[in-house]
Structure 1
Amino acid sequence: MRRLAGVGTRFLIVGGLSTLIEVGAFNLFVYAFGWNLVVAKIAASLVALINAYIGNREWAFKDRDRRGRVAEILLFLAVNLICTGLGAGIVWLGAELVQGSTGRAPGPALVNIVNLASIAIIVVVRFFLYHYVVFRRTPKPAPVSPAD
Structure 2
Amino acid sequence: MSMNTLKDVYIDQLQDIYSANTQAAKMTGELADAAKDDRLRDLLQKGVAGIRDGMEKVADLIKAHDADPDGEHCKGMEGLVNEARAHALEEEFGDDDARDAMIITQYQRLAHYAIAGYGCVAAFAGRLDLGGDKDTLQACLDACYSGDRQMTELATSDINEAAV
**TM-score normalised to structure 2 length:** 0.35
**TM-score normalised to structure 1 length:** 0.38
More helix by share: 2
When Rg is computed on C-alpha atoms for both structures, the one with the higher figure is 1
